[in-house]
Structure 1
Amino acid sequence: MSDTSAGPRLLGPAEVRSLAAALDLRPTKQRGQNFVIDANTVRRIVRESGVTADDVVIEVGPGLGSLTLALLEVAGRVVAVELDERLAGALPATIAEHAPGQVDRFEVVLGDAMRVSEVPGPPPTALVANLPYNVSVPVLLHLLALLPSLERGLVMVQAEVADRLAAAPGSKVYGVPSVKAAWYADVRRAGSIGRNVFWPAPNVDSGLVAWDRREPPATTATREQVFAVVDAAFAQRRKALRGVLRGLAGGSGDVVDAALAHAGIDPLARGESLRVEDFARIAEGLTAAGAAA
């Protein structure tokens, strides 16, 4: 009999492959499936996340349960969102076998994290996940928008994406993900992950991104208006703002000039030099100048 008072038994390479074989599962690139097979790595992710027993954690893409079990060692509750029907169906049995004392603190949701509109149970306070690399940024931004209760998080993504999310203005990799993530949170790089901790080993390096929720910039513009300015500014990132923003102003250079003057931004500046607060002021200016035009 299992000892229900014991902590979770984490998965190693043999357990991961055995679970996959039982499901006749062959990891697919289309769904970004690379399963972590190293217990030290998932414990490190949980440790770096700062999750405590007071937290309700949402996990995206739990796969075979490696990170889920490590989260159940610490978190008060874990809700795992899984797109793959076979994986979602098998996860409760894995939790029951490897973490029998934590079964009542776990729930799996079958669904696409990009389309989730609610999460069952108490509002989640933390997001910790090995995000599917092909959709990592849109999933992160969707959940930040959907769940204002999220106070912090730590996600594993492709190293290049981690650099972009955490980039500061002026960086070569600063762009749309950097600015949109900064609308919601203070974002930082939290380490790197080697390829050999995955099965199958990916052909890209991985990175950890940590974030802490903050209030969005104080602005009369909506988030949608601000994000439209961000998208336009980086659509042609080597061009000056005066040119690239005309599409948002009905082609009017005068409206753009008025908006940039309102924001105190040089018309010859480029988007890569601006903070999220600057984009918010430009969006305000466009709305005001457009209404006055």
Structure 2
Amino acid sequence: MSNGSASALLGPADVRRLAAELDVRPTKKLGQNFMHDPNTVRRIVASAQLDPDDVVLEIGPGLGSLTLALLPAARSVLAVEIDPVLAERLPRTAAERAPDLAGRLRVLLADAMRVTADQLRADGPEPTALVANLPYNIAVPVVLHLLAELPSLAKGLVLVQSEVADRMAAGPGSKVYGVPSVKLAWYAAARRAGPVPRAVFWPVPNVDSALVSFTRRPEPSTVERATMFALVDAAFSQRRKTLRAALAGWAGSAAQAGELLRSAGVDPGARGEQLSVTDFARIAEASVSG
């Protein structure tokens, strides 16, 4: 919904001035690293491939670097912020730097790990796209929680720690394929969408960062998600073991696990990292139908 309006994006001096004004010191506990490079922020928004009708959900907007770039690109932005000082300042920052677009912003003071669909729908349309520089310590659980809460969330682009990006986008057979890979694949097709340099953050993090893009697709089974996810947790709890052994506790015994696997068409001697999300779904289905 670009109407010729634009935001004045935050540069390094703006970020430091705002932080000083609010007496905000980025904390490791909240995983805060504020972006201060307008070119990087523009690249992230372009990579998100937003439609003018998209309602963007942003988690942890911080001082508003990414928020300001999202406002011209979408119908509206719902920013969920856990820090009351930052949440209170953000609408004013939008009004100061993007007066024509500030009406598109809603700010919700909430914990993204616990926020509910009702809260996210309360004052406006349902979010359709997640675009966020996620706190690195909760990136995967937040994405999974939001995909579960909001069926309307059709796509996303999230900035996470590089190793986490690898795990989120990994496919079967990869060394880093595991629980996050399978659980995200339950909801969406994910891919790595490029690195982001350390120097664009304040403070400079001691880890590399990368973008992960995902597109929702139909869930691969009608089996209960909780059943499926318990199976996935069990399969990867002892990576070096065969599925017959790793799933013994989950299935009741190694013999029962072997029977379930065979009835699902899966080799009991295989390991979890060899199975696709649809393979896991077949095992979960066999467990409930048997």
Matched residue type, 2:218? E
Over residues 15-65 of structure 1, what are the superposed CA-to-partner deviations in whole Å (9 max), with x where a residue is unaligned? 000000000111100000100000011110100000121100000000000
What's the counterpart of residue 279 of structure 1? 280
What's the counterpart of residue 25 of structure 2? 26
5+ residue gaps, structure 1, are: none
Match of 2:170 among 167, 170, 173: 167
Over residues 231-288 of structure 1, what are the superposed CA-to-partner deviations in whole Å (9 max), with x where a residue is unaligned? 00100011000011111122x2332122101211111100000000111111111223
For the pair 1:243 / 2:245, whether they are aligned, the reply is: yes
3-state SS of paired residue (1:81): strand
Alignment of 1:34-183 (within 5 A): 34-118=33-117, 119=120, 120=122, 121-183=124-186
Q: Is the 8 A contact 1:114 1:138 kept in 2?
A: yes
The TM-score with structure 1 as length reference comes to 0.95
Over residues 114-169 of structure 1, what are the superposed CA-to-partner deviations in whole Å (9 max), with x where a residue is unaligned? 00002131111100000000000000000011100011110000000000000010
What's the counterpart of residue 227 of structure 1? 229
CA RMSD in angstroms, aligned pairs only? 1.2
For the pair 1:192 / 2:191, whether they are aligned, the reply is: no
Name the CA distance, whole Å, in 1 between partners of 2:6 and 2:286.
56
3-state SS of paired residue (1:73): helix
The TM-score with structure 2 as length reference comes to 0.96
Shift in Å at residue 5 of structure 1? 7.2
Name the CA distance, whole Å, in 1 between partners of 2:255 and 2:287.
10
Shift in Å at residue 218 of structure 1? 2.8
Moved over 6 A (4+): none
Name the CA distance, whole Å, in 2 between partners of 1:288 and 1:6.
57
Name the CA distance, whole Å, in 2 between partners of 1:104 and 1:10.
17
What's the counterpart of residue 216 of structure 1? 219
Matched residue type, 1:264? G
Indicate the percent of aligned positions where both proteins have the same amino acid.
63
Name the CA distance, whole Å, in 1 between partners of 2:110 and 2:189.
28
Q: Is the 8 A contact 1:259 1:284 kept in 2?
A: no
Q: Is the 8 A contact 1:36 1:66 kept in 2?
A: yes
Over residues 200-257 of structure 1, what are the superposed CA-to-partner deviations in whole Å (9 max), with x where a residue is unaligned? 00000000000001001034x211111111000100011000011111122x233212
Name the CA distance, whole Å, in 2 between partners of 1:143 and 1:104.
24
Question: Aligned residue pairs: how many?
Answer: 284
Matched residue type, 1:48? S
Name the CA distance, whole Å, in 1 between partners of 2:145 and 2:112.
8
Name the CA distance, whole Å, in 2 between partners of 1:253 and 1:10.
58
Name the CA distance, whole Å, in 1 between partners of 2:45 and 2:133.
11
